[in-house]
Amino acid sequence: MSLSARPAVGRRVAGSLVAALGLATALLAPTSSAQAATPTGSLILAGGAVAATNSAVYGTFISKAGGTSTARIGVITAASDVPANDPNANDPATCSNSVCNGSYYVDLLKNTYGAADAQWIPIDLDHMSNNSSQSVINQINSMTGFFFGGGDQSRLVTTLLKSDNTDSPALAAIRAKFTAGAAIMGTSAGTTIANGPDMVTGGESWDGLRYGSYTSISSSYPNDLSYRPEGGFNFFTSGLVDTHFAARGREGRITRLAADTGHTRAFGIDEDTALVVTNPGSSNETDTVVGTNGVSVFDLRSATIGTHSGYWSIDNVKWSYLTNGDSYNPTTWTTTSTKPTYNPGTGTVGSRWSDIFSSPAPTTGHPYQMVKMATELVNAGRSTYQYGISYESGPTFEADLTKGTGYRAWKSGTAVSFANMNTHLYVY
């Protein structure tokens, strides 16, 4: 079954015309705004849905913040809605709002993971003025690490940035602590906000490939790919970032956004998984994966943007997928793995895959579909190519994966990693 596409008639003009201008205009170096100094702190960028028992992720954060005897964590849940909008606000077991989420993470970090202290930073849509409160700034200055919870990154923009996109006093204090060595962890929206210019704000892969990217969110077309050109907090500058990644099939949306905005690299972080960034923004930056699933890295330096059957297409995107313990060097664009090299001599791929972008349609139920397709290809020693198609039609998009030049793979147990799998997205 396929989901029919809505008609293109009457749609708003896309925020970027890069696809029409060609590759020479599109694929510029990743953009970042200057900071006063290179941070000496670390980033723990989680893809969302981090299990309370995931000691690899939370334990790494506590360690980077000084360890159990030293870590003092400021918990920021301003991405969550306020209690008045939460129908379960009075039920500690089911509530989900800025206050109760703050309490949850304070308890988790202090009582489960042994932080010396954890405190909620009282900034949210109900407490906007606290972003310039001296008592809150004093509280921030006493911390060695900061945890940004999930929700909607636009609330973090509203609560912690000024209208001219400069730091509020509270965010300036957090940035100064990060520069001086404090650790920052984000999950879901709390990770997305770490991005610099062209931060993704919403959308689905099929809609992004079909209609392009927009600089505003449309209530008429909620699945449109949207982004904020001014970006987020600019803590992470090595490429675009997306979260809940393979579980929600966001490979198409981040590739289209990177191409439309001129970025040559993008990271997709899976659920219950984190990218640990040491020496962020420096020539010595190292990005290491911890957790249950993986992190995708897309290299668009040699990509070619064009059209196929009248629709947008892109070829020669190099896709690397890193799992627990693997590292990526953004300066050299290379992947390192402690797992054994994997080059099976037997096995072939099966039939064409479907729903490769894990459609949000409620009947599909295909999380991690494109990663599963890639893993099948890695395990098929006698095959060099596999492909799949989108659930949505009108048009149906296809993803072709090829073991091309520079392809490598590693495997330990059931964990499979690979580098430089050639990816082609176009109309089927």
Q: Which residues are catalytic?
A: 188, 207, 244
Q: Whose CA is closest to 116, among 181, 50, 66?
A: 66
417 Cβ neighbours under 8 A, 6+ residues apart: 294, 320, 321, 322, 323, 326, 335, 337, 339, 409, 410, 411
Phi, psi torsion values for 14, nearest 5 degrees? -65, 150
> Rounded to an integer, what distance in angstroms lies between the CA atom of residue 143 and that of residue 210?
45
Q: Whose CA is closest to 141, among 159, 121, 158, 157?
A: 121
Helices (H) and strands (E) in the chain, counts: 11, 21
Phi, psi torsion values for 131, nearest 5 degrees? -70, -5
> Rounded to an integer, what distance in angstroms lies between the CA atom of residue 69 and that of residue 363?
48
Phi, psi torsion values for 242, nearest 5 degrees? -135, 155
> Rounded to an integer, what distance in angstroms lies between the CA atom of residue 21 and that of residue 23?
7
Q: Identify the residue whose tokens are 């190099």.
A: 318
Q: Which residues of 40-54 are buried (b: 16+ CB within 10 A; e: fewer)?
A: ebbbbbbbbbbeeeb
